[in-house]
Amino acid sequence: MTMLLRIVITIICIASTWRIVDHVFHRNLRAFLYPPEADSIAIPILTNQILLLMLGFLVLPTALLANAWVVEKLNKLRLIFQLLILIPLVGMYVIAMLICLGMGLSSTDIDHVEIGVSYAVMLALIAAAFTIDVKRIYCRLCKKQNPQ
């Protein structure tokens, strides 16, 4: 159940951030905050949308890799195979958190603050999921190493 919940929360978070980015840029365009010759306003919108799609492709597989069934199967593998699964899991989380941090910090001006806040919320959710996954995997792997 937690895997399904994580997937739904991730999709809702990405979709809401997508909508916030679209709303903020179009609101600022209607308020003439961008110069009239700013034909390149589609570039930041597309950049944000592409990065949000990347976040989806980075975060959604972590729900599958950190699933309890996968962690149980990890316990039966040798250390090298465990690392071959755990290193990409950590790498996907780190890249996703860096994208959220970078996009959040690049949107800190007063006209784009909603975008920065939505990326900060997404960063907090990804960091919480990372902490929970690392704790779960570490506890299960240590239980295998030290059977009592």
Structural domain harbouring 71: 2-145
pLDDT band at 145 (very low <50, low <70, confident <90, very high): low
Beta carbons within 8 Å of 95's beta carbon, 6+ residues apart: 58
User: Total domain count for the chain?
Assistant: 1
pLDDT digits (tens, 9 = 90+) for 36-72: 776 667 778 888 889 999 998 988 888 887 777 777 7
Structure pTM? 0.82
pLDDT digits (tens, 9 = 90+) for 101-121: 999 998 888 888 999 999 999
- Residue 78 CA to residue 72 CA, distance in Å, equals 13
Rg of the chain over Cα atoms, rounded to whole angstroms, equals: 19
DSSP state of 63: H
